[in-house]
Structure 1
């Protein structure tokens, strides 16, 4: 059974403006440790790819916070949610910190998809219960 749906549309130009103002601190605030490594690798190769990666992760975390009904309040934090790619390339939600036991106690599973095009990044999250 679906317990929550969240979506977020992010203007990549807004993410770029924030990076220009705050520098790498912004990426460090939004991204978890594994995401930060990918972001830095992509940025080093092609800065636009790093920017798009950051924007899709930002959108996914916003969408996830809506799907679980908390918004950005404890135990939901930017760094407690990571969107990592499976070997197949499919994005997957990975939780940590206090959010992991909070989420697991409810018997939920999250599904995420992300995309970007020119100036926008979009994420869609569905949270379902595993119990019938």
Structure 2
């Protein structure tokens, strides 16, 4: 159920060459730090088909997680970690944020649905996240007009 109230908004704009440089220096260690287990599988498949698609996948997920961390007001500070927030595609292709561990517990007590949009070009990626507020608790027998 959508509440309509917005609790947070985050955005990130990232140059792809930044991710390329980090990946060239740290390789799979960087991938394991940034991506959760399910994202790592997708990244490996995309990279095997086309190394450029692997870099763009890594860059869009990095940007989405940055945008998400801004929207929830934590930045990359506990309980927010890179791998606890995965950005995966639903069967129809739309991206969604899936949380795990302490981040999922922390988030569930504070926020409603998270909406994410990502885009990539040759040299730049962008992500935008909107966080819904939790639905208001039903009021006891009070009535407002």
CA contact (8 A) 2:111 2:131 kept: no
Helix, strand or coil at the partner of 2:14 = strand
Equivalent of 1:27, from 19, 25, 31?
Answer: 31
Equivalent of 1:121, from 120, 125, 130?
Answer: 125
TM-score scaled by length of structure 1: 0.98
Render the CA deviation track for 1:86-109: whole Å, top value 9, x for unaligned: 001000000001000100011421
Of the two, which has the highest radius of gyration?
2
Which residues of structure 1 form unaligned runs of 5+?
A: none
Whether 2:24 is the aligned partner of 1:5: answer: no
Q: CA deviation at 1:24?
A: 1.1
CA contact (8 A) 2:7 2:111 kept: no
CA RMSD, Structure 1 to Structure 2 (Å): 0.7
TM-score scaled by length of structure 2: 0.89
- The count of residues paired between Structure 1 and Structure 2 equals 132
Correspondence for 1:80: 84
Correspondence for 2:21: 17
Instruction: Tell me, in whole angstroms, the C-alpha distance in 2 between the residues paired with 1:72 and 1:108.
Output: 20
Q: Which moved more, 1:57-66 or 1:17-26?
A: 17-26
Correspondence for 2:108: 104
Which residues of structure 2 form unaligned runs of 5+?
A: 137-145
